[in-house]
Amino acid sequence: MASVAVTRPSFFRRPRATTGLAAWLTTVDHKRIGILYGATAFVFFLLGGIEALLLRIQLAQPNGAFLDADTYNQVFTMHGLTMIFLVVMPLSSAFFNYLIPLQIGARDVAFPRLNAFSYWVFLVGGIFLYSSFFLGGAPNGGWFGYAPLSSGEGFLPGTGMTYYSIGLQIVGVASLASAVNFIVTILNERAPGMSLMRMPVFTWMTLVVSFLLLFAMPVIAIALFELGFDRLFGTLFFNPAAGGDALLWQHLFWLFGHPEVYILILPAMGIVSEVLPTFSRKPLFGYAAVVFSGIAIGFMGWGVWAHHMFTTGLGPVANTAFALSTMFIAVPTGVKIFNWLGTMWGGSIRFTSPMLFAIGFVAMFIIGGLSGVTHAIVPSDFQQQDTYYVVAHFHYVLFGGAIFGLFSGAYYWLPKVTGRVLSEGLGKLHFWLMLIGFNLTFAPMHWLGLQGMPRRYYTYPEEAGWGFWNLIETVGSFVIAASILVFMVNLVRSMSRGREAGADPWDARTLEWSIPSPPPHYNFAEIPDVRHRDELWHRKYAEDERGRPVPVVAGAEHHDEADDEEEHPDIHMPDPSYFPLLAALGLPVIGYGLIYFWPVAVVGGLITLAGLFGWSLEPVAEE
Amino acid sequence: MTRRRIALAGFVVLVGLLMAACTGDLPYNSLDPAGPVAEKQAELYWLVFWIAVAVFVLVEGLLVFAMIRFRQRSDDDTPRQIHGNTRLEIMWTIIPALLLAGVAVPTVGTIFDLASRPAGEVLEVNVTGNQWWWEVEYPDLGVLTANEIHIPAGRPVAMNLTSKDVIHSFSVPRLAGKQDLIPGRTNTLYIEAAEPGTYLGLCKEFCGLSHANMRFRVIAQESSEFEAWVDDQLTEAAAPPSGTLEAEGLEYFSTGACIGCHTVRGVEPAVGKIGPDLTHLASRSTFAGSIFELNERNLTRWLEDAPRIKPGAKMPSGLRELGLTEDQIEAMAAYLLSLE
């Protein structure tokens, strides 16, 4: 059809900038989108961290007067929302974006413009949520937003929970779009020879997480629509006096919320499953077991939601069923931990920064996993629910777990992104400070919880006897903050002064290390032909008869660096586009319109519609 | 190995601090049970705790052992490339599953045990959550009070829990774990105090601005004392002798805004149902969601400006919103403190 030249208005021409702001605004390159995701999520990480410090200052002593009740409620709500929706999920997305095409030997994702759209929607959704601080108050009903507190008129001051219902909806669109994108990418874009069971485990976990997102986001979307309708239009979904049901929200929220927990942790598990083999110089122990236990966790994750609701009066039969499912989800989780131990066992362990964070992940996650089992013991959970014991548990899982895992991934893969290795000395300082600060902050929460201290209290009386450990926790939180500063120094320093990474600084195992760092925009000059799991390792090493690796002599498969300097005009890459950005920009406008003045929502709708039309009408760039 | 020595020293300090902190007075401590329900819950916790400690020591021990034993010793270390072991996989799938099945047996038993109605004569108490106080009704005894729940020691009590506005949660850690108060539903929690005493409770489901200011107490008494308390509660409020400050206070109270929300049985117009019943206010030792001790100073501050000292409090500020004078407030405080 190339011969049929259709002239279109210049409006539809594809942008051509490859450097500067315009290039970043119109990029569809999965690597740039990955960097954007990572940088944005890191900024939100700092915001969420500052919020955590504010909470800790307030709680350092009984009868704290640093924040008033309403501010405290806004801050703890935004801390939760930020860390979950604007930090851990998009940081995982940063890794998905940057790495998945590289790991499967592809040049980009299946839908590059949809990928850009995901990022922009996430960004504007985050900004929309945060703008509420300046527009009458941020969400103040908890990240879990229980109805009817969140939905009923006058129960909470301000418009915060309306921002919550619309803001999360927007961020959810981003997750949904990227879920579809990565499922299709992983299933369809693998290099020849890369069968499913040859995929790196990180790719596998991305696939599982994408399916979880695909099924979980619609559930929260419905709940959020109902909440938004209750708040904006006076529907009464959650008002029992009018025939609604207060518990309906909790069922919907946790039916999303528990798979969400696995959405947060599985990517980190995938990262650790890449880092441990590389630095143990052994393949992952029990690859199939690790993959299938990940799938099992993803599947069983749908059958445990009501363990968040043991005290709502579901009755002993339902409580028993969810207690059992919650206990037994510990089994596949344990399988993973044992396989990671098996990976290290008999290896030759190099204690680099990424490895320390990966081991830290395993060590801390064990604690979080064990305290998780105690939640399944319904009668004792009656005592623990909504106390700091639960706060301790999920920080061991999501900070000791997910955040340690993500930092492991950052130290491991940033050299691929920037071309320079981060300082090992600063990396280790970061690790030890964070490990100490983390345990100082969160370990005492276990006993505070058992001593009855409830969550979400902006103040507590002196006679409760909780003052001492709260003070220790506050000190610990500042140690964590110091460790993050060390990381930032390390990051900035390594950009200019870090050791050159080369293609393969860690003697690693997977395909992303076969190409230069940073990779050319087309990733692979030639699409690799995959013959093994751990393809790169097998190109570098053969095994002798005792199973020990021997370097492949010829090195014929090794990359010819000179080759990468050449232009490859024959490689067809997706063209940049500003329509994903335009389509995303309309969404918060709809949100503001719904809250303040509905005709503005129509304008927002038209902006998004224009973006989608442009998107479908724009041609490929002229050669 | 200075690092290890530092770690050891840190551990010793930590354990010391832990012991120090455990000796303090902890009125909300779930592991210091004062009744059969909390006791069963604590027993289960300890069972699982010790199993978890064993697993923790084993697995973290293996991790630390692997880190030391299998650390890189030279630059050209080339470990054998082991891909897995089916027998091990089966083992570490089945053993944890069996362990969990073992824990499941007493768990399920206790779930059903705690959900069933205790044998013997059960006292019924209806507790209704409000932002941010607790209405307490004894349907079989005809008593209505707030924030302080009197029960006979050694006798099972059924707490029938519901809410008038948002979801709250009823928790007296030393007597029983929490149960939610949900509008439109009634949940029943059975509790029992083994010995007479005062047991502190609080709201454990985030319920808005003053969630942290929604406490209560359970006062367990010998049954004769409990019955005496019930008899006192059943009486109507006596009118203060005329000419006293209390009588002046009653005058302001019964003609002002107070009666729109509060009931004082024996005072004709005071039949409001929005706030706590005040008929025997002075028989309680705390007020306003049990966060203030009931005395003249606190009550005066409360009447002057309730929302200032308890964020979001529904009671309007006497000075700013109701236009009361300090003299009027003084008289009303005196009257209210006479409602024994």
Instruction: Find the CB nearest B44 among A328, A331, A377.
Output: A377
CA pair distance B126, B118, nearest whole angstrom: 17
For residues A84 and A175, state if they share a domain.
Answer: yes
Mean pLDDT (whole number) for A538-549:
86
Q: Are residues A477 and A528 in the same domain?
A: no
CB-CB under 8 Å, A371 with B182: no
**pLDDT value at B19 more than 60:** no
* Separation of alpha carbons B180 and B188, rounded Å: 9
Q: Are B70 and A328 an interchain contact pair (Cβ–Cβ within 8 Å)?
A: no
Which of B40, B81, B178 is facing A311, going by the closest CB pair?
B178
Q: Which residues contact B196 (CB under 8 A, 6 or more apart)?
A: B153, B220, B221, B222, B225
Give the span between the Cα atoms of A238 and A229, in whole angstroms: 11
Pairing of strands B187-191, B197-203: unpaired
Is residue A15 situated within a structural domain?
no
Residue with the bigger pLDDT between B165 and B8: it is B165
Please compute the mean of the pLDDT values over residues A479-493 and round it to a whole number: 97
- Which of the four pLDDT bands, split at 50, 70 and 90, describes residue A361? very high
Q: Which residues contact B299 (CB under 8 A, 6 or more apart)?
A: B287, B292, B333, B336, B337
Among A188, A217, A246, residue at a domain's last position: A246
Asked whether residue A434 falls in the same domain as residue A488, the answer is yes
Q: 3-class DSSP state for residue B47?
A: helix
pLDDT of residue A2: 46
Nearest Cβ partner for A456 among B60, B107, B211: B211
Mean pLDDT of chain B: 93
CA-based nearest residue in chain A for residue B131: A155
A440 and A373 housed in the same domain: yes
Residues A442 and A392 grouped into a single domain = yes
Cβ atoms of A320 and A299 closer than 8 Å? no
Q: A477 and A539 share a domain?
A: no
Chain A CB contacts of B110 under 8 Å are 378-379
pTM: 0.94
B 102-121 residues inside an 8 A Cβ radius of A? 103-104, 107-108, 110-112, 114-115
Distance CA B132, CA B315 (A): 11
Q: pLDDT band at A28, cuts 50/70/90?
A: very high
Q: Quick one: closest CA in A to B188, which residue?
A: A313
Cα separation of A359 and A98, whole Å?
23
Q: d(Cα A156, Cα B131) in Å, to the nearest integer?
A: 11
* Mean pLDDT of all residues belonging to chain A: 93
pLDDT tens per residue, range B261-311: 999 999 989 999 999 999 999 999 999 999 999 999 999 999 999 999 999
pLDDT at A562 over 50: no
User: A320–B206: do the CB atoms touch at under 8 Å?
Assistant: no
Alpha helices in B150-234 (DSSP H): 223-234
- Using only C-alpha atoms, what is the Rg of chain B? 28
Q: Does A438 fall in a domain?
A: yes
**pLDDT at residue number B13:** 61
Residue A348 distance to chain B (closest CA, Å): 4
**CA of B244 vs chain A CAs: smallest distance (Å):** 37
For the cut 70, the answer to whether the pLDDT of residue A522 exceeds it is yes
Confirm whether A530 is domain-assigned.
Answer: yes
Supply φ then ψ for residue B83, to 5 degrees.
-100, -10
Name the residue among A347, A459, A469 with its Cβ closest to that of B70.
Answer: A347
Task: List, for residues A269-308, the tens digit of each pLDDT value.
Answer: 999 999 999 999 999 999 999 999 999 999 999 999 999 9
Indicate the residue of A148, A337, A464 with minimum beta-carbon distance to B27.
Answer: A464
**B residues 26-85 closer than 8 Å to A (CB):** 26-31, 38, 40-42, 44-45, 48-49, 52, 55-56, 59-60, 62-63, 66-67, 70-73, 77-85
DSSP H or E run through B46: helix B36-69
The residues that bridge with A454 in the sheet, in sequence order, are A387
Of the candidates B67, B214, B187, B49, the one whose C-alpha atom is nearest the C-alpha of residue B130 is B214
- Listed in sequence order, the residues at least 6 apart from B276 whose beta carbon sits closer than 8 Å to its beta carbon are B133, B135, B145, B146, B147, B262, B287
- Can you give the pLDDT at residue A160? 94
> Which residue of chain A is at minimal alpha-carbon distance from B77?
A348
Label residue B2 by pLDDT band (50, 70, 90).
low
Chain A to chain B Cβ contacts (< 8 Å): 303
B111 contacts in chain A (CB < 8 Å): 316, 319-320, 323, 378-379
Residue A475's alpha-carbon distances to A436, A442, A444, A470, B105, in angstroms, are 11, 11, 12, 9, 41
Query: Which percentage of chain A shows pLDDT scores above 70?
Result: 95
Q: What is the DSSP letter of A453?
A: P
Q: Is residue A285 part of a domain?
A: yes
Digit-coded pLDDT (tens) for B192-227: 999 999 999 999 999 999 999 999 999 999 999 999
Q: Do residues A156 and A77 both lie within one domain?
A: yes
Question: CA nearest A201: which of A344, A339, A302, A361?
Answer: A339
Q: Single out the residue in A480, A501, A522 at which a domain terminates.
A: A501
Between B193 and A153, the more confident residue is B193
Helices (H), A60-88: 69-81
**Chain B partners of A285 at a C-beta cutoff of 8 Å?**
82-85
Note whether A371 and A397 are within 8 A (CB). no
The answer to whether residue A14 is domain-embedded is: no
Nearest beta carbon to residue A69 from set B45, B204, B311: B311
Q: Helix, strand, or coil here: A524?
A: coil
Residue A392 has pLDDT above 90, yes or no: yes
If asked whether residues A207 and A320 sit together in one domain, one would say: no
* Closest-CA residue to A588 (of A197, A169, A32, A2): A169
Phi-psi region of B320 (alpha: psi -120 to 50; beta: other; left: phi over 0): alpha
Reported confidence tier of residue A560, pLDDT bands at 50, 70, 90: very low
Contact A385 B111 (CB under 8 A): no
Q: What is the mean pLDDT of residues A416-427?
A: 96
In a domain, A1, yes or no: no
Comparing alpha-carbon positions, the chain A residue that sits nearest to B183 is: A240
Q: What is the dihedral of CA B45, A391, B161, B219, to 10 degrees?
A: 70
What is the spatial distance between Cα B159 and Cα B142, in angstroms, rounded to a whole number?
Answer: 15
Pair type for strands B187-191 and B143-146: unpaired
- Among the partner residues B77, B107, B210, nearest to A323 by beta-carbon distance: B107
Q: Is the pLDDT of residue B4 over 70?
A: no
pLDDT for the residue numbered A622: 61
DSSP notation for A308-368: G-GGG---HHHHHHHHHHHHHTHHHHHHHHHHHHHHHTTS-B---HHHHHHHHHHHHHHHH
Query: Beta partners for B221?
Result: B152
From B240's Cα to the closest Cα of chain A, the distance in A is 35
Amino acid at A132: S
Quote the pLDDT of residue B74.
82
Query: Which of A156, A370, A452 faces B56 most closely, judged by CB atoms?
Result: A370
The count of structural domains within chain A is 4
Q: Is the pLDDT of residue A10 over 80?
A: no
Q: Which of A246, A247, A345 sits opposite B70 (nearest CB)?
A: A345
CATH of the domain at A320: 1.20.210.10
What is the interface pTM, i.e. ipTM, of the complex? 0.92
Q: How far is B239 from chain A (nearest CA, A)?
A: 36
Put simply, whether B16 touches A (Cβ < 8 Å) is: no
pLDDT at A1 (0 to 100): 42
Q: Please judge whether A452 and B30 are an interchain contact, meaning their C-beta atoms are less than 8 angstroms apart.
A: yes
Co-location of A95 and A211 in the same domain: yes
Judgement on whether residues A418 and A518 belong to the same structural domain of the protein: no
Residue B71 DSSP label: B
What distance in Å separates the CA atoms of residue A27 and residue A16, rounded to the nearest whole number?
10
Nearest-Cα distance to chain A for B316, in Å, is 15
- Contact check, Cβ <8 Å, A320/B24: no
Query: pLDDT at position A545, please?
Result: 81
State the pLDDT at residue A554: 56
Does residue A341 share a domain with residue A269? yes
Distance of CA A201 to the CA centre of its chain: 16
Provide the shortest C-alpha distance from residue A311 to chain B (in Å): 5
Average pLDDT over residues A541-553: 84
Please judge whether B209 and A157 are an interchain contact, meaning their C-beta atoms are less than 8 angstroms apart. Answer: yes
The shortest C-alpha distance from B78 to chain A (Å) reads 6
Q: Which residues of chain B from 131 to 150 reach within 8 Å of chain A, CB to CB?
A: 131
Q: Are residues A92 and A177 in the same domain?
A: yes
Whether the pLDDT of residue A558 is over 70: the answer is no
The 10s digit of each residue's pLDDT in A227-244 is 999 999 999 999 999 999
First vs last Cα of chain A: how many Å apart? 15
For Cα atoms A259, A260, A264, give the angle at the middle one, nearest 5 degrees. Answer: 120
Asked if the structure places residue A486 within a domain, the reply is yes
Residue A30 has pLDDT above 80, yes or no: yes
Does residue B171 sit at the A interface (CB-CB below 8 Å)? yes
Max CA separation in chain B (angstroms)? 100
B301: Cβ contacts below 8 Å, ≥ 6 apart? B309
In one letter, which amino acid is B211? H
CA–CA distance, A519 with A521 (Å, rounded to integer): 6
- Distant-in-sequence contacts of A168-171, Cβ < 8 A, 24+ apart: A168/A81, A168/A85, A168/A125, A168/A129, A168/A220, A168/A224, A169/A221, A169/A224, A169/A225, A169/A228, A170/A121, A170/A124, A170/A125, A170/A128, A170/A587, A170/A588, A170/A591, A171/A85, A171/A86, A171/A121, A171/A122, A171/A125, A171/A126, A171/A129
Residue range A180-195: average pLDDT? 97
Instruction: Kindly tell me the sign of the dihedral angle through the C-alpha atoms of A315, A316, A318, A324.
Output: positive
Mutation pick from A333, A338, A375 vs chain B, by most beta carbons of B within 10 Å, is A338
- Give the CA angle between residues B62, B64, B66 to the nearest 5°: 65
Nearest C-alpha of chain B: how many angstroms from A82?
19
The verdict on a CB contact (< 8 Å) between A341 and B72 is no
Q: How far is B177 from chain A (nearest CA, A)?
A: 4
Residue with tokens 């040049």: A107
Spell out the residues 6+ positions from residue B327 whose beta carbon is closer than 8 angstroms to its own: none
The answer to which of A378-392, A476-490, A544-558, B135-149 has the lowest mean pLDDT is: A544-558
Residue A112 located in a structural domain: yes
> At which of A246, A274, A306 does a domain end?
A246
pLDDT at A410: 97
Predicted confidence (pLDDT) at residue A328 exceeds the cutoff of 70: yes
In the three-class reduction of DSSP (H, G, I as helix; E, B as strand; rest coil), residue B214 is classed as coil
Q: What count of residues does chain B have?
A: 340
Q: Across chain A, which distance is largest between two alpha carbons, in Å? A: 84
Residue A417's domain comprises 255-501
Q: Per the CB < 8 Å rule, is A363 touching B38? A: no
DSSP B195: S
Among candidates B93, B114, B211 on the partner chain, residue whose Cβ is nearest the Cβ of A457: B211
CA distance A355 to A277: 10
